[in-house]
Amino acid sequence: MTRAIIDRCGSKGERGIALIVGLVILAVLSLIGIAAFSITTQEERMAGNSRDRMRAFEAAEAALRDCEAFVAGGTAPFDGTGGTYLVTPNASTTPSITESAPARLESWWQTGGHVRQLLDSNGNPFNGNAQAPACIAEQFWVVRPGTNPTGSAIPDYDKAFIAHITAHGYGLNKNTVVRLESYYAM
């Protein structure tokens, strides 16, 4: 008795296509997972930077308010102490924060004696920031509109005194710096 053997695999034999398709699908899923991880990591960094920048902004705003209150109180000496300076016309020796050179500007904030720092009761920066927020107030005067200064001496009643207040706030990272400015009429 002879039995017929049925060739179920076909005459060509196995080719292993299922293995190749499985590896391709695995590679695609791995790439999707890596891309998702990379995007999530980048979003976390962006959120951290935004949070640090907002913290620096709040510190600068607090320093600006402190300086404005100090100037408004009438006790600011504007003599080069406590972060207050008197800017006189044509004074080349008076340091001015309003100069545009960034290197000179940054040197002001590195020297603690030239600025008014905002510290907590223990003498530390607020909320663990990298540095204490600080401000500088410069007083200068302008001639009121409608007056006609004819000589070098201008009466005080013809002058308007203005304070240019500049505040720096720092985040948790010392490289996160926010600078705010305001003008306060006295």
- Measured distance CA(37)–CA(30) in Å, rounded: 11
Query: Residue ranges per domain, the chain?
Result: 17-185
10 or 4, higher pLDDT: 4
Q: In the predicted model, is pLDDT for residue 134 greater than 60? A: yes
Structure tokens belonging to residue 17? 């296509």
Q: Which one-letter DSSP state was computed for residue 79?
A: S
Residue appearing with tokens 């590195």: 110
Identity of residue 167 = A
Longest dimension (CA), the chain: 136
Span of 121-125, 149-153, 157-161 with lowest mean pLDDT: 149-153
- Measured distance CA(87)–CA(79) in Å, rounded: 10
User: What does the pLDDT look like over 33-77, one tens digit per residue?
Assistant: 999 999 999 999 999 999 999 999 999 999 899 889 888 887 777
- Measured distance CA(50)–CA(55) in Å, rounded: 9
User: What does the pLDDT look like over 120-133, one tens digit per residue?
Assistant: 767 776 767 888 88
Structure tokens belonging to residue 134? 């600080």
Identity of residue 16 = G
- List the beta strands (DSSP E) in the chain: 84-86, 116-117, 134-143, 159-170, 177-185
Structure tokens belonging to residue 34? 């890596």
Mean pLDDT value across residues 118-147:
75
Residue appearing with tokens 């920031």: 129
Tell me the backbone φ, ψ of residue 158, rounded to 5 degrees.
Answer: -95, 0
Identity of residue 178 = V
Structure tokens belonging to residue 25? 């699908």
Tell me what pLDDT residue 104 has.
46
